[in-house]
């Protein structure tokens, strides 16, 4: 049988290096590719860990050499800027809180890269994500990883069935500590490289500063739900729903209760605050949905688990799809949920589908 | 590496004496080194005393360009004339001098075939005259192989110092430092089957320029640092070998080149060759495959065991449009659809046939992946 040919997306970190090595062991013909996500590699970020530095591309190349596979750099700067960075800015401008890692998986790794790989005659893309795919009667399905601490099925839930068909996740059954151990055994010097946590294109994790630089810092009012002014803000989009610190309110609450950001209204440039109780959300409405498998029956109420943050707990829920929106009625409320984040529905450990949260009640 | 260079290097590497030392071990190495200098001078058509050994061609270019500029600047000559498609090892030190030392760059355009416009050069020389510190124009271009008329450049320059990066040409085509009348020339061992990490600046006798490295005062006080004797003797051996076999190899490589071009043309009708097919180095072939993406071509050809190269890449490895091809008038899209094949006398007709067998499918795939319309 002819060997299957795959592209291993190599960030320069430990996970993607071990994933590439495992793909070689599994009998694939592997070509390593590092994605250059900024046309000027120092533009988005310098020094620290991320996906865009010269150091990372060097680390990825070194890992490919140790594994013994060819290695290339693919310039995806334009696609990344359009599909991820611009989307990130416009979402904030609209008062939502986007998840750029999810967009990157959707638009870059499993669209731009996968499409290019297929055109060049490759069969799929290998990444170091922690998630599991299984063959089902209707094609491949996406599942949670064995390591709940590292599970990344949430940020992959945006993938369509055809994208999952082309995805290979060799680390799904492994816990992170074992990945590091294996990297060491394989002689991959990235074994002890720290995990990336921040947004890769925002330098030193200063999200608010980065946004202020690009979107301006027009001051506006911080108000309560009745519209009474309680203070001033420096750029509405630098706040996150559920945020408590750094509000600098000039009017204290009568009962001395702490106040939280409830809503960001970009049109009036106001930030609305309230009590912790006011943050409670029972119903989540999200659109447009992507199904990792067959779409659920229209308007049929089903039971499953909702996840609303990258490392959030699964929340027991009823859900249904009304043809436009995916609606989740949670069994117990969740506090401080931002629109723009993804609602992912699970059936046990299987990803049913996802959609972007547009309204919370 | 050619056999004679390997033999020279392995013999010399056992001798540990420092050529600058006065004891017998040092003297013995000194003797070998000076013999190598004479041998290399013979191959390059210069006096032995005109050779300054360096570790790379880049270093030799930096020494020549900065040294000649600083010398000129003392007499208020701050203009550097150069072509718009020099190697980065020439272009970047010139840009550095402009950014840090007040140099004024005058870039001479090149035509679609890759030849420096000598009429424009003449006009620039007449315009700037005694403001010119130096002229630096490559002997042949490293990406497209076009040979420049350096004798004519020297004639136009008159008394103005002329440096030429001869790294690509040395050992491949007739080249005599003396006959060309150059002030300075750069040559490197690794391009002629010699070892990596050894090169030379040929600098006219008696000319005193500012060094970049300061220390022990080796090489006319222009290049301090302990001699790399094994590298130097191997460099000389490779140069002798290249010059002795030049004619025969030239003939063979030009035949291979013809075969390569016709094989590719037979399979892909819309390709073109960049540069000139007459006045060129034997082994460099730059071919544009319209609407492809050279990164994809390279990846697929490499998988078939065929090594070729794309233009330049930034420090992180991202492909950039070639400044050489842009200077020759290609569009950005065309530059990133171009591959350079380097042929040597060790290549075979069979290897070209192997390329012929896969090129059509490789180009079709690369076109599909490129998204170029």
The CATH number of whichever domain residue B345 belongs to comes to 3.90.1150.10
Query: Yes or no: is domain A5-128+170-205 CATH 3.40.50.10330?
Result: no
Q: Which residues of A touch B369 (CB under 8 A)?
A: 115-116, 119-120
Helix (H, G, I), strand (E, B) or coil at A17: helix
pLDDT at A100 over 60: yes
**Chain A residues within 8 A of B316 when measuring between CB atoms:** 36, 41, 53-54, 57, 73
**The pLDDT value given to residue A39:** 60
Interface of B with A (CB under 8 A): 295-296, 298-300, 302-303, 313-319, 365-366, 368-369
Per the listing, tokens 């993607």 go with A16
**Could you read off the pLDDT of A251-291 as tens digits, one per residue?**
777 778 889 999 888 888 899 999 999 999 999 999 999 99
Same domain, B177 and B262: no
Map tokens 């190349």 to a residue.
A61
Judge if B291 and B251 occupy the same domain.
yes
Q: Where are the alpha helices (DSSP H) in chain B?
A: 3-13, 24-44, 57-74, 88-100, 118-128, 150-157, 177-180, 229-267, 294-303, 323-327, 332-335, 349-370
Q: Does A209 have pLDDT greater than 90?
A: no
Q: Read off the pLDDT of each residue in B37-62 and give the average, rounded to a whole number.
A: 98
Cβ-Cβ contacts under 8 Å for A184 (sequence gap 6 or more): A191, A192
CATH of the domain at B159: 3.40.640.10
Between the ranges A63-72, A85-94, A131-140, where is the mean pLDDT highest?
A63-72
User: pLDDT confidence of A44, banded at 50, 70, 90?
Assistant: very low
User: Where residue A48 falls among pLDDT bands split at 50, 70, 90?
Assistant: very low
Q: What is the pLDDT of residue A50?
A: 41
Q: What is the pLDDT of residues B111-170, one digit of tens each?
A: 999 999 999 999 999 999 999 999 999 999 999 999 999 999 999 999 999 999 999 999
Q: Is the pLDDT of residue A300 over 80?
A: yes
pLDDT score recorded for residue A268: 87
pLDDT digits (tens, 9 = 90+) for B314-365: 666 777 889 999 999 999 999 999 999 999 999 999 999 999 999 999 999 9
Among B222, B227, B198, CA closest to B210: B222
Interface residue of A120, A123, A125, A200 to substitute, partner B, most B CBs within 10 Å: A120
Q: Which of A111-125, A244-258, B5-19, B68-82 has the lowest mean pLDDT?
A: A244-258
User: Does this complex have an ipTM over 0.90?
Assistant: no
Contact B317 A74 (CB under 8 A): no
pLDDT-based confidence at residue B281 (cuts at 50, 70, 90): very high
Gap between the Cα atoms of B220 and B216, Å rounded = 10
Domain ranges, residue B46:
3-242
Best B306, B313, B318 member to test A by mutation, with max A CBs in 10 Å, is B318
Classify A217-275 by CATH class: mainly beta
Do B48 and B146 lie in a common domain? yes
Q: By percentage, how much of chain A surpasses pLDDT 70?
A: 95
Residue A51 has pLDDT above 50, yes or no: no
Identify the pLDDT of residue B315.
65
Give the Cα separation of B342 and B286 in Å (integer).
9
**What Cα–Cα distance (Å) separates residue A330 from each residue in A323, A346, A360, B39, B73?**
20, 13, 11, 86, 78
Q: How far apart are CA A92 and CA A95, in angstroms?
A: 5
- Which chain B residue shows the shortest CA-CA distance from A41? B316
Number of domains in chain B: 2
Told to judge if B314 belongs to the known catalytic residues of this protein, a careful annotator would answer yes
Which chain A residues are closer than 8 Å to B318 by Cβ? 36, 39, 41, 73, 75, 77
Choosing from A51, A52, A101, A104, the catalytic residue is A104
Residue A49 banded pLDDT, cuts 50, 70, 90:
very low
Note the pLDDT of residue A266: 83
pLDDT in tens, B81-125: 999 999 999 999 999 999 999 999 999 999 999 999 999 999 999
Integer-rounded Cα radius of gyration of chain A: 22
Whether residue B221 is found in the same domain as residue B279: no
Same domain, B145 and B169: yes
A216 band by pLDDT with thresholds 50, 70 and 90: confident
DSSP code string of A238-284: G--TT--TT---SS--TT----EEEEEETTTTEEEEE-TGGGEEEEE
Same domain, B339 and B306: yes
Q: Which of B293, B297, B299 to mutate to test the interface with A (most CBs of A within 10 A)?
A: B299
Residue A204 has pLDDT above 90, yes or no: no
For residues B70-81, average pLDDT: 97
Co-location of B277 and B310 in the same domain: yes
Q: Which residue has the tokens 């988005």?
A: A44
Is the pTM higher than 0.80? The answer reads yes
**CA–CA min distance A125, chain B (Å):** 15
Do B181 and B203 belong together in one domain? yes
Judge contact between B65 and B163, C-beta under 8 A: yes
Catalytic member of B46, B166, B280, B314: B314
The mean predicted confidence, pLDDT, of chain B is 96
| Res A146 pLDDT > 70 | yes
Cis-peptide into A288, omega within 30 deg: yes
B238 and B250, same domain (yes or no): no
Q: What is the pLDDT of residue A195?
A: 79
What value does the mean pLDDT of chain A take? 90
Together in a domain, B126 and B43: yes
Pick from B221, B242, B263: which residue ends a domain?
Answer: B242
Question: What would the mean pLDDT of B237-251 be, rounded to a whole number?
Answer: 97
Domain residue ranges in chain A: 5-128+170-205, 217-275
What is the Cβ-side half-sphere exposure of residue A109, based on CA atoms within 13 angstroms? 27
- Asked if residue B349 and residue B293 are part of one domain, the reply reads yes
Please determine, for residue B33, whether its predicted confidence score (pLDDT) is greater than 60. yes
On whether both B230 and B280 belong to a single domain, the answer is no
């Amino acid at each position: 049988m002819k060997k299957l040919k795959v592209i291993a997306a190599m960030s320069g970190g430990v996970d993607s290096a071990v994933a590439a090595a495992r793909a070689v062991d599994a009998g694939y013909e592997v070509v390593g590719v590092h994605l250059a996500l900024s046309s000027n590699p120092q533009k988005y970020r310098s020094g620290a860990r991320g996906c865009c530095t010269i150091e990372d591309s060097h680390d990825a190349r070194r890992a490919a050499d140790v594994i013994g596979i060819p290695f290339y750099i693919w310039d995806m700067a334009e696609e990344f800027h359009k599909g991820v960075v611009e989307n990130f800015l416009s979402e904030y401008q609209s008062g939502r809180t986007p998840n750029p890692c999810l967009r990157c998986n959707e638009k870059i790794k499993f669209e731009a890269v996968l499409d290019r790989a297929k055109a060049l005659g490759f069969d799929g893309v290998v990444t170091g994500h922690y998630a599991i795919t299984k063959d089902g009667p209707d094609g491949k399905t996406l599942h949670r990883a064995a390591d709940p601490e590292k599970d990344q099925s949430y940020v992959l839930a945006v993938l369509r069935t055809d994208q999952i068909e082309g995805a290979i996740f060799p680390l799904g059954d492994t816990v992170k500590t074992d990945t590091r151990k294996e990297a060491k055994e394989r002689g991959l010097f990235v074994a002890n490289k720290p995990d990336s946590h921040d947004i890769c294109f925002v330098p030193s994790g200063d999200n608010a500063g980065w946004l202020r630089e690009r979107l301006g810092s027009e001051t506006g009012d911080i108000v309560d739900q009745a519209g009474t002014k309680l203070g001033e803000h420096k750029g509405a989009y630098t706040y996150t729903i559920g945020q408590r610190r750094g509000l600098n309110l000039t009017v204290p609450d009568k009962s001395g209760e702490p106040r939280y950001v409830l809503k960001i209204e970009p049109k009036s440039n106001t930030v609305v605050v309230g009590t912790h109780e006011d943050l409670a959300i029972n119903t989540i409405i999200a659109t447009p949905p992507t199904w990792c498998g067959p779409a659920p029956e229209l308007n049929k109420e089903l039971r499953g688990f909702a996840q609303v943050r990258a490392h959030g707990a699964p929340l027991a829920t009823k859900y249904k799809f009304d043809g436009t929106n995916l609606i989740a009625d949670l069994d117990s409320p969740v506090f401080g949920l931002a629109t723009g984040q993804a609602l992912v529905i699970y059936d046990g450990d299987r990803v049913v589908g996802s959609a972007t949260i547009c309204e919370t009640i | 590496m050619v056999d004679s260079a390997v033999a020279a290097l392995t013999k010399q590497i056992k001798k540990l004496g420092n050529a600058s030392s006065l004891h017998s071990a040092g003297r013995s190495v000194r003797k070998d080194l000076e013999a190598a200098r004479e041998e290399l001078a013979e191959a390059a058509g210069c006096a032995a005393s005109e050779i300054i050994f360096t570790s790379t061609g880049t270093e030799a270019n930096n020494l020549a360009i900065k040294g000649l500029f600083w010398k000129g600047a003392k007499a208020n000559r701050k203009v550097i004339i150069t072509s718009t498609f020099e190697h980065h090892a020439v272009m970047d030190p010139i840009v550095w001098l402009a950014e840090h030392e007040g140099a004024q760059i005058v870039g001479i355009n090149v035509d679609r075939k890759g030849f420096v416009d000598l009429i424009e050069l003449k006009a620039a020389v007449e315009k700037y005259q005694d403001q010119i510190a130096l002229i630096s124009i490559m002997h042949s271009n490293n990406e497209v192989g076009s040979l420049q008329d350096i004798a004519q450049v020297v004639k136009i320059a008159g008394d103005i110092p002329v440096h030429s990066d001869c790294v690509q040409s040395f050992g491949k085509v007739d080249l005599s430092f003396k006959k060309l009348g150059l002030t300075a020339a750069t040559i490197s061992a690794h391009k002629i089957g010699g070892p990596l990490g050894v090169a030379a600046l040929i600098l006219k006798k008696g000319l005193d320029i500012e060094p970049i490295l300061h220390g022990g005062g080796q090489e006319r006080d222009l290049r301090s640092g302990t001699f790399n004797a094994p590298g130097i003797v191997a460099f000389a051996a490779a140069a002798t070998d290249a010059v002795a076999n030049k004619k025969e190899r030239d003939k063979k490589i030009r035949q291979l080149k013809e075969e390569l071009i016709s094989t590719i043309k037979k399979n892909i009708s819309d390709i073109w060759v960049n540069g000139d097919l007459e006045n060129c180095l034997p082994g460099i072939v730059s071919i544009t495959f319209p609407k492809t993406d050279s990164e994809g071509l390279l990846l697929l050809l490499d998988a078939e065991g065929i090594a070729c190269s794309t233009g330049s890449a930034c420090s992180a490895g991202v492909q950039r449009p070639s400044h050489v091809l842009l200077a020759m008038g290609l569009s950005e899209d065309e530059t990133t659809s171009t591959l350079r094949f380097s042929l040597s006398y060790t290549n075979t007709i069979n290897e070209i046939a192997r390329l012929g067998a896969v090129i059509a499918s490789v180009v079709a795939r690369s076109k599909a992946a490129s998204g170029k319309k």
